[in-house]
Amino acid sequence: MPTYNVTAQDVSPLIAYSAGWVDSNHGDALWANYSGGTFHATQSPGASAEITFFGTAYWVFGAKRGNHGSFTVTLNNTDQFTGSGFSANDEFQTLLHSNTTLPIGTHVLTIANGNDPTKFVDIDWITFTGGDGNPSSAGVTTTLDDATSNFTYLPSTDAWPSQTNNGLAPQYFNSTLHATNEHDAQALVSFEGDAIYLYGATSGNHGTFSVQIDDGPIYNLNGSAPAFRPRTLLWYQGGLKPGAHNLTMTNTGTSLLANNYMDVDYVVTESFASPPATSSQGSKAKTPIIAGVVSGVGILLIWIIAGLIFWSKRKKRRSRFAMEEGRAFHSNVPPPDPVIIPPDPAVVDGSCPPGPLRSNSTPTPNFAIGRDGKRRPDMGRALTTPGTFNEVASSHNPTLSDDEAPGPLPSTPPTLPAAKKVRKPLQLHSPLGSTDQPSPTTPLLNQGSNTGQSITSPILNSPSNSQLGAPIREQDWGPVEMATLPPDYQQATERRNPAVNH
């Protein structure tokens, strides 16, 4: 409910005066200085004025003059304040007392004159604050005229005759009013809202009446006044629960008095959509969501941290496992099989004794240089071409005797394996590093049949060359340009007999 102010003029029936109060003494030369030209004053000690309101604050306005004295303010019959209305210079429409720190609810405010019978106290108007003090709350105001269907008149409409022909009607809202002088005649108003204002007129022919909301307490009011005052706030009630309500007005004056009237002009209702309540509900509604989001984020962070820890430990375990597995693998790898070097075919067929080759105390190199200038292994035990070594040795050793001279070649030279392509004759390197080469006119090879090539040099068949008695192998000729593959191990190791010339 928002903050709003309600002002009750001194002539409003909302303010209940005890005996001793005078309504707007026009004998006072300064009466026009009061708001609306009206005021209530008393010189009686202890005379009081009381108002009941729903709100959180109040302000009492009056005058401070040279003939005014002390007064007391009582709130809810407990709190008391003593003030003074005296002023050497007259002050009108001034604040006499206020309290703006009240708890929200229904309060009863009482103003009483002091004990000096020569001093006055007066009241110009009283304003109080309704609502819960939240000015941002939005309110909806609805005005219901006395002629609308929201009004019901009892015991019948005849008891509440229309005053359209009344000369005072134009001073009422919409120029309409309902008035009665029947005792216990009632006017019922149905409405929806949190607060309601009841407006009518006070006058010299008006009397007492009562007001009740739903089944709540009954408030007794007085509509009597020394002058006619239309559109006066007769009564106000705030702090109602939202929803439908019923207001009942009852004429409590006696019908024996011709001047005991009560009239109804209109009512105003207010409905408040309280943002504080909505905001509170929204906060309550959002609180579980916020708590859920925070909890979810916290749980997610915990899972992420746990996952990182698990991943780190797993990575370490896998690294250790890989290292241990590697050690186990290397420790369990069996030693490689020994490499068996096959025996030299010349040793196998008895042509050459085992051990290093001895010929004139000069070893045979284990590589050959081909036509492309590259050093190549001789694919097995190094053997010089039979006859060539001794022949070269003899040419470099003049001390050889005739017994040591090489003998004649055998009549039938050995036959090499067949080859599809004729090998070109090669110049053999001297095992002693000599640059002397066999005579180019000496035929070393005969191109015979397609079964192979025959060696025709007489040097190769010397019988004195006993350690070179092994058959000549194709591998011993160095790099060979051939379309067929070299002989396999069996071919290289089989014992060859001298081939017969075809």
Q: How far apart are the first and last CA of the chain?
A: 136
Which range is least confidently modeled, 89-93, 154-158, 423-427?
Answer: 423-427
For residue 484, what pLDDT band results from cuts at 50, 70 and 90? low
Asked if residue 222 is part of any domain, the answer here is: yes
The H-assigned helical ranges of 52-199 are none
The residue-averaged pLDDT of 78-97 equals 93
The answer on 208 and 78 residing in a single domain is: yes
pLDDT greater than 50 at residue 288:
yes
pLDDT greater than 80 at residue 47:
yes
pLDDT greater than 60 at residue 272:
yes
The residue-averaged pLDDT of 81-94 equals 95
Q: Which of 127-141, 393-407, 464-478 has the highest mean pLDDT?
A: 127-141
Contacts with 326 (C-beta within 8 Å, 6 or more apart), sequence order: none
| Bigger pLDDT: 233 vs 388 | 233
Q: What is the pLDDT of residue 475?
A: 53
pLDDT greater than 70 at residue 84:
yes
Q: Which of 243, 275, 307 is the last residue of a domain?
A: 275
Q: Which of 76-80, 264-268, 278-282 has the highest mean pLDDT?
A: 264-268
Percent of the chain with pLDDT over 70: 56
The residue-averaged pLDDT of 131-158 equals 85
Q: What is the CATH number of the domain that holds 103?
A: 2.60.120.260
| Bigger pLDDT: 321 vs 260 | 260
Q: What is the pLDDT of residue 254?
A: 74
The answer on 124 and 17 residing in a single domain is: yes
Q: Which helix (H) or strand (E) holds 187?
A: strand 186-192
Mean pLDDT of all residues in the chain? 74
* pLDDT tens column, 203-220: 999 999 999 999 999 999
Q: Which residue has the tokens 């241990």?
A: 324
pLDDT greater than 60 at residue 458:
no
Which range is least confidently modeled, 112-116, 131-135, 199-203?
Answer: 131-135
* pLDDT tens column, 439-448: 444 444 444 4
Q: What is the pLDDT of residue 328?
A: 56
The answer on 442 and 353 residing in a single domain is: yes
Asked if residue 23 is part of any domain, the answer here is: yes
The answer on 171 and 24 residing in a single domain is: yes
The residue-averaged pLDDT of 28-57 equals 95
The answer on 192 and 59 residing in a single domain is: yes
- Burial bucket for residue 481 (CB in 10 Å: 0-12, 13-18, 19+): exposed
* pLDDT tens column, 344-402: 666 666 666 666 554 444 444 444 455 555 555 544 444 444 444 344 444 444 444 44
Q: Which residues of 143-172 are buried (b: 16+ CB within 10 A; e: fewer)?
A: ebbbeeebbebbeeeebbeebeebeeeeeb
Q: What is the pLDDT of residue 311?
A: 78
Asked if residues 108 and 14 have their Cβ atoms less than 8 Å apart, the reply is no
The answer on 215 and 349 residing in a single domain is: no
The answer on 353 and 263 residing in a single domain is: no
pLDDT greater than 60 at residue 1:
no
Asked if residue 436 is part of any domain, the answer here is: yes
Residue 44, CB half-sphere, CA atoms under 13 Å: how many?
14
The answer on 243 and 354 residing in a single domain is: no
Q: What is the pLDDT of residue 448?
A: 42
Q: What is the pLDDT of residue 436?
A: 46
Residue 106, CB half-sphere, CA atoms under 13 Å: how many?
8
The answer on 409 and 268 residing in a single domain is: no
| Bigger pLDDT: 398 vs 262 | 262
Asked if residue 97 is part of any domain, the answer here is: yes
The answer on 255 and 352 residing in a single domain is: no
**What is the rounded CA–CA span in Å between residue 490 and residue 153?**
141
Asked if residue 303 is part of any domain, the answer here is: no
Q: Which of 226, 256, 275 is the last residue of a domain?
A: 275
Domain count, the chain: 2
Q: Which of 230, 249, 275 is the last residue of a domain?
A: 275
Asked if residue 339 is part of any domain, the answer here is: no
Q: What is the pLDDT of residue 386?
A: 45
Instruction: List, in sequence order, every residue forming a beta bridge with 375; answer none if it has no partner.
Output: 369
* pLDDT tens column, 306-337: 888 877 777 777 766 666 666 655 555 565 55
Asked if residue 246 is part of any domain, the answer here is: yes
The answer on 251 and 352 residing in a single domain is: no
Asked if residue 289 is part of any domain, the answer here is: no
| Bigger pLDDT: 495 vs 48 | 48
Q: What is the pLDDT of residue 302?
A: 85
The answer on 354 and 238 residing in a single domain is: no
**Domain containing residue 476:** 344-358+402-502
pLDDT greater than 60 at residue 179:
yes
Helix (H, G, I), strand (E, B) or coil at 477: helix
**What is the rounded CA–CA span in Å between residue 302 and residue 306?**
6
